[in-house]
Amino acid sequence: MQHSVQPVESARRQIAAAAFLIAEHQPTSRTLCSCGRLLPCTVATASSRAHDHNSSVLALLLATMELPTIATAGR
């Protein structure tokens, strides 16, 4: 069984987009994000969650493989 490339590619793209947004939304002071929002920045928080979620999805998709049947138990 081969899994579709589409979910893997989608997860990779979402991770890349989230990483870009996280890099753009860094704290500049103790109270402000580089975008001007008060900390915690909602964009940075959402991007971090999306990155974590898609990293988990990607790990599951790439770790899943069909194993051969070695033997069946007779009854």
In the prediction, which pLDDT does 61 show?
87
Measured between alpha carbons, how far apart are the two ends of the chain, in Å?
28
**Could you read off the pLDDT of 3-60 as tens digits, one per residue?**
555 999 999 999 999 999 999 999 999 999 999 999 999 999 999 999 999 999 999 9
In the prediction, which pLDDT does 43 show?
98
Note whether residue 71 is domain-resident. Answer: no
- By residue range, what is the domain housing residue 10? 5-63
Note whether residue 19 is domain-resident. Answer: yes
Number of structural domains (the chain) is: 1
What is the spatial distance between Cα 73 and Cα 71, in angstroms, rounded to a whole number?
7
CA angle 51, 6, 50 (to 5 degrees): 15
